A and B are shown apart, each in its own frame.
Chain A
Amino acid sequence: MSHVHEASGSAANRVKTLVGALEDAHVLTERELDASIEAFLSRAQPANGGRIVARAWVDPEFRRRLLADGNAAVAELGIDLAHWAPVKLRVVANEPGRHNLIVCTLCSCYPLALLGPSPAWYKSNAYRSRAVRDPRGVLAEFGTQLGDDVEITVWDSTAEVRYLVLPQRPAGTKRATEDALAALVTRNGLIGTALV
């Protein structure tokens, strides 16, 4: 899942060869493989991330629980992370003067359940190597200009933990409904390459 690398042409060939070998050895069929991938992805949607953030914006107690124990808090919204893999979810909050950015320098670990499949750039060598070395420069290339005094924390997902950024609630949304707030939340906002 989390080991998709560049040079996708050769990776695709390797996958094809591997699937062929598994079929020949009667370990699985391509049909079974497709079914399990479909089941894996069926409930993995970026809308999950939006719902979590919107709830945290309107409910300070939920926000506190979310930052303390991500898995338990998202389970309250009916999202069972164990459906995908037994990972620990940690949610990190942007605050005035503090920004968070998520990367996986070793491969491409990503909170797939909450954001859907990851974008190609997240898996690129360029993003993975530069996010930890020059996060401010990388953010600027995404069109996200942070003041020099803003502290940036980069979270490198090196073990069985998945990170999600809790963006700051945008100004002028005091009267917005929870659903309207959820619709404002973008995938890049949850990775930290954009503000919301």
Chain B
Amino acid sequence: MFQVGDRVRTRLMNPAGHTRLPVYLRGRVGRIEYLLGTLPFSDQRAAGVRSAKEAAYTVRFSTRDVWGADGDAHGSVCADLFESYLEASE
């Protein structure tokens, strides 16, 4: 479980099947913005486990942390990500 404000890093992953972790947000550091509770876990549902659920979080990433110096100086991207996409970050 993560809490609002926790720093997290998204996993570098390239699964063969369905995932809702966008490529542009893999291996990036962000902060937990909002706890979404438990949501239907798309990755496993796509693999046939219809009842699969997992904790999910809105995670905020600074635009510069995603796109480097080419990113907007005053912006961020928020995405809704499942717990198994995330690991704690310093």
Contact = CB atoms under 8 A, between A and B. Distances in A.
A and B are partners in one complex rather than unrelated chains: yes
Interface of A: 88, 90, 105-106, 132-136, 148-161
A105 B20 contact: no
| The 9 A-B residue pairs with the shortest CB-CB distance in the complex, in nearest-first order | A159-B80, A156-B79, A152-B75, A151-B74, A158-B20, A158-B79, A154-B77, A160-B39, A158-B80
A140 B2 CA distance: 37
Q: What secondary structure prevails in chain A residues at the interface with B?
A: mixed
A160 B37 CA distance: 11
A71 to B, nearest CB: 12
A88 B36 contact: yes
B78 A159 contact: no
A64 B81 CA distance: 25
Contact of A135 (B25, B37, B75, B79): B75
A153 B31 CA distance: 14
Most chain B CB neighbours (cut-off 10 Å) among A88, A132, A149, A151: A132
Contacts of B75: 135-136, 151-154
A105 to B, nearest CB: 5
Q: What secondary structure prevails in chain B residues at the interface with A?
A: strand
A151 B60 CA distance: 13
B56 interface: yes
B73 to A, nearest CB: 8
B32 to A, nearest CB: 14
Contact of B72 (A90, A106, A134, A161): A134
Interface string B4-22: 0000000000000000111
A68 to B, nearest CB: 11
B43 to A, nearest CB: 10
Contacts of B25: 156
28 contacts: A88-B37, A105-B22, A132-B24, A132-B66, A133-B24, A133-B70, A136-B75, A150-B74, A151-B76, A152-B74, A153-B75, A153-B76, A154-B76, A155-B79, A156-B25, A156-B77, A156-B78, A158-B20, A158-B80, A159-B20, A159-B36, A159-B56, A159-B80, A159-B82, A160-B42, A160-B56, A161-B39, A161-B58
